[in-house]
Amino acid sequence: MRGWRDGLRTRAPWRGTAAGIMLMFMFMAAVLGRGVSARGADTEADVLAADDARIKALVAADVTALADRLADDLRYVHSTGTVDTKESFLELVRSGRSRYTSYAPLERIVRFPAPGIALDSGRARLRVETADGPVEAEFHYLAAWRHEAGGWRFFAWQSARAPKSPTPPAFAVTFDEPAVPGPDGTGAFGTGWRDLGADDFERVNCADDTWTWKEGGLHCTGQPVGVIRTKRSLQNLELSLEWRHLAEGGNSGVFLWAPPEAFFGIEPGQLPRGGIEVQILDHGFRTRYEASGTRKGDWFSTNGDVFPVGTSRMVPFPPTSPNGSRSFPKAAHSRGSPAWNHYYVRAVEGEVRLWVNGHEVSGGTRCVPASGHLCLESEGAPVEFRRLRIRELP
């Protein structure tokens, strides 16, 4: 006779729908709820505390602590459709075949359909290192918990990837068009975005007149070489900005996660000794560089390189520069001077991704440090920025 799980998996017409998943877990709660420990009061805080302990153990790859949070009859259905038991899931974590490097709950709603049974439905952003490369995505999930002797234990999970927008929300504003307030009134890109202005930055080692805020934008003379930085250290963020070089062959950039010690003692003409640089180069830079006779300009591109500077570290996404230190863009999407370009940067949990004019092109992971100042770079030629906006993430 086929088991009830097989019937749910192969016969049920509602399989895969939100209502179907909820019905499945309600049925599981009724079947598997037999033998739960007596409990006077079910509290959401207790379930969330158990979930926090599970997440902490999962990210730390602490198999012993993780095993204590999992029920013996665990059924873990990945978004790919792969199913794990408690034993196979623990082996997956123990072996390192799947390494959960970050897990950020975005929404958790706890319900109690029966005594000693809790259903947690919500959203989470996960990053997993696998043999096929890193996977980072937002997931909708439904998790089932059962109260047993020793506390709440996790006995079922099913998830699906959240729909992915074809382009980041930062591209709602097109070039040379006025910014249009979003429906919630918080800005053009929706909840949480805000403008970056003069009050957000401080001078580090440039002249008083190197940077000038005017007409809703920021002008940089390029002299001397140096940076301005945010007054506050930042961690997880999204950044949207437009830039253009005013001279052929111009050079500039954005530094992410530059640690405080990277600025100690730097003089005019120097750049921070740490951080992740998102480069802003005009196409004419390569011609000028190679004409100088220094060396062949094959170690950089002019379409959005991302690379660590000084003491900082990063594992670049392919393709990479010949020495493997830089993430080269997958395609050429930058416009030459004096056209405006748009950068959307996502820097979350030690990973940086760059979109140029609407196309994801480059980035890197395992950045150290993964917090610090955001800087704008003056490097020898005039450049302008406008529509600088940021959204800080948890």
Long-range contacts of 110-115 (CB under 8 A, 24+ apart): 110/44, 110/47, 110/48, 112/42, 113/26, 113/29, 114/29, 114/30, 114/33, 115/33, 115/36, 115/39, 115/42
Digit-coded pLDDT (tens) for 338-389: 999 999 999 999 999 999 998 899 999 999 999 999 999 999 999 999 999 9
Give the model's confidence band at 190: pLDDT under 50 very low, under 70 low, under 90 confident, else very high: low
Give the model's confidence band at 240: pLDDT under 50 very low, under 70 low, under 90 confident, else very high: very high
Digit-coded pLDDT (tens) for 8-26: 333 333 344 444 444 454 4
Task: Write down the pLDDT at residue 138.
Answer: 81
Task: Write down the pLDDT at residue 164.
Answer: 57
**What stretches of the chain show up as alpha helix (H) in DSSP?**
4-10, 18-32, 44-60, 63-69, 86-95, 284-291
Reference 387, options 241, 252, 264; nearest CA is 241
Q: How far is the C-alpha of 390 from the C-alpha of 241, rounded, in Å? A: 9
CATH class of 169-392: mainly beta
Q: Quick check: 31 pLDDT over 50? A: no
The backbone torsions φ and ψ at residue 157, rounded to the nearest 5 degrees and listed phi first, read -150, 135
- State the burial class of residue 109 (Cβ atoms within 10 Å of its Cβ: 0-12, 13-18, 19+): exposed
Kindly list the distances between the CA atom of residue 356 and the CA atoms of 110, 179, 279, in Å, as whole numbers in the listed order.
Answer: 40, 19, 11
| CATH 3.10.450.50 domain position(s) in the chain | 4-161
- CA atoms lying within 13 Å on the CB side of residue 291: 6
The mean of the pLDDT values for the chain is: 84
- Percent over 90 (pLDDT), the chain: 63
Q: Quick check: 6 pLDDT over 90? A: no
Task: Write down the pLDDT at residue 101.
Answer: 86
CATH class of 4-161: alpha beta
Digit-coded pLDDT (tens) for 138-188: 889 999 999 998 899 999 999 998 875 444 544 444 333 334 333 333 334
- Percent over 70 (pLDDT), the chain: 82
| CATH 2.60.120.560 domain position(s) in the chain | 169-392
Q: Quick check: 242 pLDDT over 60? A: yes
Q: Which two tokens stand for residue 371?
A: 């917090």
Task: Write down the pLDDT at residue 180.
Answer: 34
